[in-house]
Chains A and B, each alone.
Chain A
């Protein structure tokens, strides 16, 4: 690990001020950043530790929703009574990720900002446009089993690896972001992560010196909440494909269908056309096939990851089966 200065930030503004320079980075739980620093993928000269700035609370909002502080750990969120009762898709997505030891340290902000698991990104001897702009993309034409089938570019085909954000995208949560001058802005989780385009080094819309303060969940939505994660072993592995779904069925017809997909793209994937297609119709295999057609309309395999296209369709059918079972 390269040498760096370590400072404890005392407030978000303090943290934002400390990290205005590009060589400075925030550290929260450290479970992703320290991993990457050991590999010299990340080489910050200054670490601003936000572990003790507060913002770890989970509180009810005036409109019946829930505000999750950026420093709330994955564990704290997954065991929170309101998350378990009103947002089970979120509790399930978190519990399906990593391990208890990691979730005890991992924070909400850090989880949103976790970096891709692309093997070329994490190996500094390999070309990677995300790590080293202009060096090329080793994964295109290389080993790309984990990579994107939707929204990739000629510059980068990496996926966003996390689970929590996929559930937050289905729930249409918002990320609250603070700056050094105390100004705040808010961005839907659905728009927080970016597609790689020709600037793959930018994972999300955060500017230098911005700090995530909280994630706000809207008032709970009626309906079944499902998180389905397909991975190579039954525990402790990143998603190949995952689906977070909030689906309501009334009198035989779908009245709500908010779906988000993990493992397919550089961001949790949300396509508003799927909801438009599903709402108003009776759930059926034929209908879910049409939803899969829409989802995968522009899907493109890279070789090793071609299997993700039929796998996403099968996972969608498995969600449908769960919906039918629960609706019965």
Chain B
């Protein structure tokens, strides 16, 4: 059994205590405090990270369950000097107020754009087959796992729509 997990391209040792959630492991053990703890119960999405290409709530996972997994956090998506397209768009559109939900929103949206590109349907899709357009309705449904207490939703959706249509072209 591998006793490491890979975070933003770097291997790290698993914690000894199996109780440590992936979220606490990232924040406390690795000091990657970009990933936020909102509810700690899977309800808010502030803790969203990308594991082996899929977005998940890191609060409802144990770090030890992820040996060998590839984990990308907000720190792995871009830097202040070289932001990712979504990071740039959130700035351009004021896609936040306090910013607490933002890392989760951006990790979530990053994976969501891949899901649309891969032809995954959502509850808002009229048909289960075909190509899914990043309409406002689709984006809102697909991002429903990321709450924003500041209510910056309109700008969040605008930022994501911008990048979605850009990468479409």
Contact = CB atoms under 8 A, between A and B. Distances in A.
A298 B45 CA distance: 40
Interface stretch (B91-99, B117-125, B151-159): B117-125
A34 B60 contact: yes
A118 to B, nearest CB: 16
B77 interface: no
Given A95-B123, A102-B42, A235-B141, A34 B128 contact: no
Given A38-B41, A236-B144, A84 B121 contact: yes
B65 A100 contact: no
A99 B45 contact: yes
Contacts of B40: 38
Given A30-B60, A30-B62, A105-B60, A5 B42 contact: no
Given A6-B64, A31-B57, A101-B45, A91 B108 contact: no
B64 A104 contact: no
Given A95-B121, A100-B142, A101-B108, A31 B60 contact: yes
Given A4-B18, A4-B19, A35-B42, A235 B144 contact: yes
12 contacts: A3-B19, A75-B120, A78-B120, A85-B129, A88-B128, A95-B125, A96-B123, A98-B145, A100-B115, A101-B56, A102-B56, A105-B57
Contact of B61 (A5, A34, A98, A100): A34
Contacts of A49: 64-65
Nearest to A5: B18
A1 interface: yes
Given A4-B19, A6-B18, A101-B56, A236 B62 contact: no
B6 interface: no
Given A6-B62, A99-B145, A105-B60, A79 B18 contact: no
Contacts of B115: 100
B62 to A, nearest CB: 6
B54 interface: yes
A236 B145 contact: yes
B112 interface: yes
Interface string B112-140: 10010001111101001100000000001
B169 interface: no
Interface in B31-61: 40-42, 45, 48, 54-57, 60-61
A51 interface: yes
A47 interface: yes
B55 A101 contact: yes
Contacts, number: 91
A47 B18 contact: yes
B1 interface: yes
A8 interface: yes
A38 B59 CA distance: 10
Contacts of B48: 101
Interface string B72-107: 000000000000000000000000000000000000
Closest 3 CB pairs of A and B: A99-B145, A6-B18, A235-B144
Contacts of B19: 1, 3-4
B23 to A, nearest CB: 11
Given A4-B18, A30-B62, A35-B41, A102 B123 contact: no
B110 interface: no
Given A34-B62, A38-B40, A51-B65, A75 B128 contact: no
Nearest to B45: A101
Contact of A75 (B54, B65, B145): B54
A102 B57 contact: yes
Contacts of B64: 6, 49
Interface in A18-50: 27, 29-31, 34-35, 38, 47, 49
Contacts of A8: 1
A38 B62 CA distance: 12
Given A101-B108, A102-B57, 8 more contacts: A4-B18, A4-B19, A95-B121, A96-B123, A102-B145, A105-B56, A105-B57, A235-B141
B121 A78 contact: yes
Contacts of A3: 19
Contacts of B112: 100
Contact of A101 (B18, B65, B141, B145): B145
